[in-house]
Chain A
Amino acid sequence: MAAGVATWLPFARAAAVGWLPLAKKTMPKPPIDNSSKSDEILYVNVSGVRFQTWKNTLDRYPETLLGSSEKEFFYNEDTQEYFFDRDPEMFRHILNFYRTGKLHYPRNECIQAFDEELAFYGIVPEIIGDCCMEEYRDRKKENQERLAEDTEANEGMDAPLPPNSTSRERLWRAFENPHTSTMALVFYYVTGFFIAVSVIANVVETVPCRPHKGSAKELPCGEKYHLAFFCMDTACVLIFTFEYLMRLFAAPSRCKFMRSVMSVIDVVAIMPYYIGLVMPENEDVSGAFVTLRVFRVFRIFKFSRHSQGLRILGYTLKSCASELGFLLFSLTMAIIIFATVMFYAEKGTKGSTFTSIPASFWYTIVTMTTLGYGDMVPNTIAGKIFGSICSLSGVLVIALPVPVIVSNFSRIYHQNQRADKMRAQQKVRMARIRMAKKGTANAFLQYKEDRNIGDPDGDNSALCVKNRSAFEHQHNHLLHCLEKTTNHEFTNEMNYSELCMTESVGYRTSRSTSLSSHQGAQNNSTGCCPRRARRRAAMRLANSTVSVSRGSVQELDTLHLKTTSIPPQTRSSLNAQMCDMKLNCGDQDFTAAIISIPTPPANSPDESLPPSPAPILGILRNTRATAYTQDSVKISSL
């Protein structure tokens, strides 16, 4: 809970006077605050620099070193001060945190030193205020990344594999980090060499070679030395296939591996060869086959495993995709506009090359990108005018977005990172707030438990109770007063959902008196969640037998409220009607156990135990709410 809230607690407690006339019950006694009321000034000596502060200031955060009794370890009797052998500059910020409730990160300090100080004083870094949080996180992340890189570099080189790794794991490691073993390195270079060979072969294949003796036509080398190229291609594809299969075998998660980009590139690189083998020497199909050969150029992308730069470029383009898309879109718009205009401007002229609007696209693109091939030129004056407008605007259209894209890219890149950070921080912050809320909520429930386990007369000598601060005691007392005012208690989510279940079912059973519907419902529910369903069924049975009227739930409530008189009555009433239920619930195999906690008369549980395992109706209580089961009987069906 925030520090300053402690200041307002007395006021909140005073305002509780407003609940008093409404309260149905008496208020509980307030905790006795034995600590001295008057505030005193503490002296804290940090490596010679003396700080002074009120004791209350430090007490605001009882879970830190200075706020708890841990500081007594540093108390110096001779000089009557607390001495810390730490950095006084840092301590200034720490102390300011107590004073203002906000922790600031000093930008000129080393992030690790700051972290260490925070750890020493028991302060969680998440409390850093919003003004400094981003800076803190950036620095911390930077530092961590740098450290991680260093350790990775060291590890990657030298670290031996754990001795129990399987051959599969070793193989995978060899593939991922070629520097680990000589074999891996050799394999790495061999594959690299073959990729290069394959790419060069693809290129050289198409260069025209001198024709055969006695033939005039020039042949591309691929056809002249057909066999040689085929053998080279086969060898490369064999190596690539072997590599791919090895990787597939070694991959820790085969599905994930098959979906990754690199594996897709591998497959695309070797597929054409196999398809070519399989396909017959058909004239029609060979046209398609030629197209497939184009995919062999994808082998060049296999280099990205060998080159870090290529990977970064790929990632960059991917992250900048929306901006590129926007550029493309605006370009397309401009192209269409100008193509249309040029087409209609040049429509009349004889022998015009602007035969259609799509044909004009080519002119527009060539002009806008200032290429100007000259294969299509406008002849009319209007055409020339629009043509010049086109080329001028082309310069603008192309030139303007490019810096915007570059700056956008850098901005978006950083912004995305920041947005993700913000979202993560927001999630963390929300989670922290939720946890703090839950923490305080749970703290109160825990307090109630402890209070009832200990002596209910208020003489809280249990150690766990003592360890709570005065603030917590008073806050818990305040919440307890609210409970008494409204005559309802705080519970947690689990109990609440179970209670809702009983209530809703209770109302339902009160309306429909037929037991067969119970059974039907029970059968349906046991399927999905047997244990829970059986508990629910037990509750339903309990509801139906206790009474058929609307008062069933309230009777249950009174059952839950503990006085020694009530349980025996209800138990006997349950027992009395048990025989009715026996007939209907025969096919459900409930084995029942009766667990009775402290007081109720010991003989009755034995009496109520039936000879055969018949269903015993139960009121099931969650163990968390043990505070109120001291005097009630807990019957559970297993």
Chain B
Amino acid sequence: MGAVVGSLTMQTKTRRLSRDKADDDLEITMVCHRPEGLDQLEALTNFSKKELQVLYRGFKNECPSGVVNEETFKQIYAQFFPHGDASTYAHYLFNAFDTAHSGSIKFEDFVTALSILLRGSITEKLQWTFNLYDINRDGYINKEEMTDIVRAIYDMMGKYTYPVLKNDAPKQHVEAFFQKMDKNRDGVVTLDEFIFSCQEDENIMRSLQLFENVI
């Protein structure tokens, strides 16, 4: 008898909880952000007005609130790499995009980064990449940071690769990278070493040209 009454009361409690949560969710979605004017963005970036319009329409469609938070970012990025787990790399990428460290990417951040990556000079691109690798933003890339990044990239490949991914593949990759980049063998790579080494490498220079007409 008591059990019956008890079960009845339990039901009402859970209902109340769900209602509170719904109210909270309602509040969060009300946050909205509007970007700066079209002219200002055109001045800030290397895109034309039309391109900015296309970019914004797509962005606004996906994120009506005007901002992308890290969860959404990870989900979006994961859809491009169904084989493996893209969340770690997406996290680093998010931090690279979110230059103001506000926890969300606004349209301006989005478009500024795209402008550098697609329309920027070689130095700017390499600088952006350096910022991506430098996780703690101290101006140096050390082996641990690099290993984290490389491991995140390998995670995106997933399990089913050919040849089979060995556990020390990221480590070997990092070793090779440091061999090439770390000129003074002090165990860290600075921005200048990085840019200099990349400019020496023909492959990298050629590849950098490839991504110009993505939009």
Contacts and interface: CB of A to CB of B under 8 A. Distances in A.
Interface in A29-63: 29-30, 33, 38-39, 54, 56
Interface string A425-453: 00000000000111011000000000000
B206 A26 contact: yes
B157 to A, nearest CB: 6
Interface stretch (B15-23, B27-35, B55-63): B55-63
A376 interface: no
Interface in B168-202: 169, 173, 176-177, 181, 194, 198, 201
Nearest to A443: B82
A153 interface: no
B210 to A, nearest CB: 5
Nearest to B63: A4
A338 to B, nearest CB: 12
A9 interface: yes
A25 B203 contact: yes
A20 B117 CA distance: 12
B82 A437 contact: yes
21 contacts: A4-B76, A12-B77, A12-B80, A15-B117, A18-B96, A18-B129, A21-B194, A21-B198, A26-B203, A29-B210, A30-B214, A99-B61, A334-B1, A400-B1, A401-B4, A404-B8, A436-B82, A482-B157, A486-B157, A495-B162, A500-B164
Interface in A609-629: 625
Given A30-B211, A489-B162, A496-B161, A14 B80 contact: no
A631 to B, nearest CB: 16
Given A5-B76, A21-B198, 7 more contacts: A2-B79, A8-B62, A14-B114, A30-B214, A56-B58, A404-B4, A500-B164
Given A11-B110, A18-B132, A26-B203, A4 B62 contact: yes
Q: Which of A12, A17, A29, A491 has the most chain B CB atoms closer than 10 A to its own CB?
A: A17
B3 interface: yes
Contacts of A493: 160
A635 interface: no
A334 B1 CA distance: 8
Given A21-B204, A30-B210, A493-B160, A441 B83 contact: yes
5 smallest beta-carbon distances between A and B, as pairs = A7-B58, A437-B82, A14-B117, A27-B207, A496-B160
B128 interface: yes
A624 to B, nearest CB: 11
A489 B118 CA distance: 26
Interface residues of A, number: 70
Contact of B207 (A12, A26, A38): A26
Contacts of B210: 27, 29-30
Contacts of A438: 82
Contacts, number: 165
Contacts of B150: 22
A211 interface: no
B153 A19 contact: yes
Given A22-B153, A330-B3, A500-B164, A17 B59 contact: no
A16 interface: yes
A486 B62 contact: no
A401 B61 CA distance: 52
Nearest to B82: A437
Given A7-B59, A14-B118, A441-B83, A488 B161 contact: yes
Contacts of A38: 50
A306 B204 CA distance: 82
Nearest to A334: B1
A475 interface: yes
A17 B58 contact: no
Contacts of A11: 110, 114
B93 interface: yes
B160 A490 contact: yes
Contact of B214 (A13, A397, A479, A491): A13
Contacts of A115: none
B169 to A, nearest CB: 8
B54 interface: yes
B161 A1 contact: no
B80 A478 contact: yes
A431 B177 CA distance: 40
Contact of A9 (B80, B153, B161, B173): B80
A81 interface: no
B204 A20 contact: yes
A475 B80 contact: yes
A610 B164 CA distance: 34
Contacts of A400: 1, 4
Contacts of A632: none
Given A13-B211, A20-B204, A33-B213, A489 B80 contact: no
A24 B176 contact: yes
A496 B153 contact: no
A382 interface: no
Contacts of A10: 114, 214-215
A555 to B, nearest CB: 12
B208 interface: yes
A396 interface: yes
A273 B93 CA distance: 82
Interface in B66-82: 76-77, 79-82
Nearest to B176: A24
A496 B207 contact: no
Interface in A296-340: 326, 330, 334
Given A8-B62, A14-B114, A20-B208, A491 B153 contact: no
A298 B96 CA distance: 77
